[in-house]
Amino acid sequence: MTEQKLAKDLPAVSSEPKADEMEIDLMDILRKIIAIRKILYKAVGIGLVIGIIVALSIPKKYTVEVTLSPEMSNSKANGGLASMAASFLGAGTGMSGDGSDALNASLSPDIVSSTPFLLELLSMSIPVDGEESEKNDLGSYLDSQSSPWWSYIIGLPGMAISGVRSLFTDKDESGGLRDSQSGAIELTEEEDKKITSLKKNITAVMDKKTAITNVSVTLQDPKVAAVVADSVVHKLQEYIIGYRTFKAKEDCAYLEKLFKERQEEYYAAQKKYAEYVDTHDNLILQSVRAEQERLQNDMSLAYQVYSQVANQLQVARAKVQEEKPVFAVVEPAVVPQQSSGMGRKTYVIVFVFLSVVTVIGWKFFGEEFWDKLKRELA
């Protein structure tokens, strides 16, 4: 029994030295930290100064988020306006379609980040310094946004290279190429920089489960950010409506043209029949009757075609309206009161922490490693 008790007590006894060693190590670390407390005070001061400089150099940015809930595309052929018009007019279901969309709300992020979409945004009007009376375009506003001072230092080599290159090349300042026929777009250097900036600051994210789209705009002026966010939402709706109704509008335009042609043909056949009847009303010749029946059949046939095209035109007009999606703005653009991102206090705390950690790491590990390296190289 005594041996068993001793065996049970042995692990407890052996674990006591480990706890003592850990306590000794912690005390040793604490003594080392206390020994370098003056250096740590300097590190805190340096980190505080650097943090304040960085915090004051980075301009404030404000983020505006707009939430959209687009209409979900259901089976429009069963209950849409086009199917109702077709059933009333007896035109069948040929024009109603199955409701499948070439473009839906899931492509909202791609539309918002597309070059044509952002090019149109650059020319939109925005208030200057919060005043509605003075207007400026978004492209000019992006030029007026401030940047941290180190961005100018980092950009100096690129500016020097561009300046030297401009001395040996003829730079065309007339603007980029806009070829509507081939769809090619050639941007100027300034336009390319502005569009790249907009792609970073204007985003759209869609939840695939709920189909809710969140549009986010981040700029340095809170009111401008709200105005741009509202414009992005309206322009996004216009783009989706334009894409969704493009085919239906083309069909409607074709039927409008066909309707006018068939209408003219019917009126011409009707007029020709009426004139023939008026001039041959008193004649009882078989040839006259045969010609009259032929003209009457032509008029009836022209009327049937004219009536059928008219019905199809009504269905096509209803389809254009049916294809227009409905967007519910769940959360509109609201002018933010607080800046987004890290606050200035956070920057100061981060740099103070990094300074302290750097000094402790250097004193505990860096100096010893550096001394070993120097001895090996010597």
pLDDT per residue as tens digits for the range 28-72: 778 878 888 888 888 889 989 988 888 888 888 899 999 988 765
Residue 25 pLDDT > 50: yes
| 298 within a domain of the structure (yes/no) | yes
Instruction: Supply 218's token pair.
Output: 């981040």
Specify the pLDDT at position 130: 52
One DSSP character per residue, 64-77 reads EEEEEEEPP---HH
Average pLDDT value for the chain: 77
**Is pLDDT larger for residue 307 or for residue 35?**
307
Q: Is residue 83 part of a domain?
A: yes
Length of the chain: 378
| For the chain, percent of residues with pLDDT exceeding 90 | 10
Residue 156 lies in a domain: no
Give the other-Cβ count within 10 Å of 175's Cβ: 11
Q: Does a structural domain hold residue 223?
A: yes
User: What single-letter DSSP state applies at residue 211?
Assistant: -
User: Number of structural domains, the chain?
Assistant: 1
In order, the DSSP letters of 70-129 are EPP---HHHHSHHHHHHHHHT-TTTTT-----SS-GGGHHHHHTSHHHHHHHHT-EEEET
Does residue 325 lie within any of the structural domains? yes
Q: So what's the pLDDT on residue 341?
A: 76
Q: Picking from 89-103, 221-235, 268-282, 319-333, which range would have the lowest pLDDT averaged per residue?
A: 89-103
pLDDT top residue among 127 and 206: 206
Tokens of 166: 């401009």
Contact 250, 143 (CB under 8 A): no
Q: Which domain holds residue 128?
A: 57-148+190-341
Q: Is residue 70 part of a domain?
A: yes
- Residue 258 has, within 13 A of its CA and on its CB side, a CA count of 17
For residue 192, which amino acid is it?
D
Q: Is 18's pLDDT higher than 60?
A: no
Which residue, chain included where needed, has tokens 């030295």?
17
Asked, for residue 77, whether it belongs to a domain, the answer is yes
Reading phi first (left if > 0) and then psi (alpha if -120 to 50, else beta), residue 211 is in left
Chain segment 333-355, per-residue pLDDT in tens: 899 888 887 778 888 899 899 98
Pairing of strands 62-70, 125-128: unpaired
Domain-located, residue 171: no
CA distances 46 to 39, 79, 359, Å, are 10, 71, 11
Q: Is pLDDT of 225 > 80?
A: yes
Quote the pLDDT of residue 338: 86
Question: Measuring CA to CA, which residue among 62, 64, 228, 217 is closest to residue 137?
Answer: 228
